[in-house]
Amino acid sequence: MEGLAAAAFCFALVGVVALVRIEKLIKTLKEKGILEQDYKEE
């Protein structure tokens, strides 16, 4: 069971990193004018 917990932790960590990178991408696209400033995720 310890291996399963470690695997779950790794996947959760990857998910958090991906979420941060997506937020950074959205911010960059807004600054460049590619995305509207009032863009809201659904």
What are the pLDDT digits (tens) for 4-32?
Answer: 999 999 999 999 999 999 999 999 999 99
Q: What is the pLDDT of residue 11?
A: 97
8 A C-beta contact, residue 29 and residue 35: yes
Distance CA 9, CA 15 (A): 10
Q: What is the pLDDT of residue 33?
A: 92
Task: Judge if pTM exceeds 0.75.
Answer: no
Record the tokens describing residue 11, joined without a space: 């996947």
